[in-house]
Amino acid sequence: MSGTDTGATVWLTGLPSAGKTTIAFALADRLRADGHQVEVLDGDEIREFLSAGLGFTREDRHTNVQRIGFVAELLASNGVKVLVPVIAPYADSREAVRGRHQKQGTAYLEVHVATPVEVCSERDVKGLYAKQAAGEITGLTGVDDPYEAPMAPDLRIETQGRTVEDSAVALRALLVERGLAA
Ligand code: ADP
């Protein structure tokens, strides 16, 4: 696809280990195979560079999400499909990002990767749930820190009992439905 491709930000919000990153990379593969330009803004990488020095207070989490939203919009407004697998626990932070996209006329989709906390804590990809349970860390989203689930996401993905491919296909179908992918 050419440089005139329609950009969009697809924000995957959900608890740690919900499957956000896994689904984002599966979707990225598909979109690239279709000829789209794609970037995945990985939360850990962002915290190492763009948001170095920020912690996990409400204010810092908000700032982190606004920075990512700013970069996502810049890329999306230049024809890139930007996939953002980042927790973004606060509804007002997410709404601010959506608002910035709307103001710029840039497509924005919110996807709730809605895996129950019990399933996430069993997966525990980064060992965070175990560390929280052992008292080694505090402020884990969904356990002892808030997660405000989206009330009206563009798509809600249940991952338990479904394959990663299923979820990527559902997400790609949403992009097609919204005229953002062929
Ligand atoms: P997050 O980015 O939300 O913290 P990850 O994608 O890093 O979560 O980890 C999710 C884990 O759950 C991975 O090990 C993945 O293989 C597993 N998993 C099992 N089923 C699914 C599914 N249907 N969709 C996404 N991930 C799944």
pTM of the model: 0.97
Helix residue ranges per DSSP H, the chain: 20-33, 43-48, 58-76, 91-104, 117-123, 128-133, 164-177
DSSP state letters, 80-127? -EEEEE-----HHHHHHHHHHHHHHT-EEEEEEE---HHHHHHH-TTS
3-state DSSP call for residue 65?
helix
Residue 182 has pLDDT above 90, yes or no: no
Instruction: Return mean pLDDT, the chain.
Output: 96
Instruction: Judge residue 111's burial from the number of C-beta atoms within 10 Å of its C-beta, 0-12 exposed, 13-18 middle, 19 or more buried.
Output: buried
Give residue 105 CA to ligand 1 midpoint distance, Å.
31
- Provide mean pLDDT across the span 133-150: 98
For residues 9 and 81, what is the distance between their CA atoms, to the nearest angstrom?
A: 6
Q: What was the pLDDT predicted at 4?
A: 61
- CATH T-level fold of 2-175: Rossmann fold (3.40.50)
* Residue 55 CA: distances (Å) to CA of 58, 60, 82, 159: 9, 6, 24, 28
Rg of the chain's alpha carbons, rounded to an integer?
Answer: 16
pLDDT at res. 2? 46
**What is the CA(20)–ligand 1 centre distance, in A?**
6
Q: What's the rounded mean pLDDT across residues 145-166?
A: 97
Q: Is the pLDDT of residue 28 over 60?
A: yes
Ligand 1 center from residue 73 Cα (angstroms): 25
- Mean per-residue pLDDT for 131-159? 98
Among candidate residues 53, 153, 149, 143, the one with its CA nearest the CA of residue 110: 153
pLDDT at position 24 over 70: yes
Task: Work out the pLDDT band at 5, boundaries 50, 70, 90.
Answer: confident
Section 155-169 average pLDDT: 96
pLDDT per position as a tens digit, 29-61: 999 999 999 999 999 999 999 999 999 999 999
Distance CA 16, CA 12 (A): 11
pLDDT band at 20 (very low <50, low <70, confident <90, very high): very high
What is the longest distance spanned by two Cα atoms in the chain? Answer: 51
For a substitution probing ligand 1, which of 125, 141, 155 has the most ligand atoms within 8 Å of its CB? 125
pLDDT tens, residue by residue, 56-81: 999 999 999 999 999 999 999 999 99
Residue whose Cα lies nearest atom 14 of ligand 1: it is 125
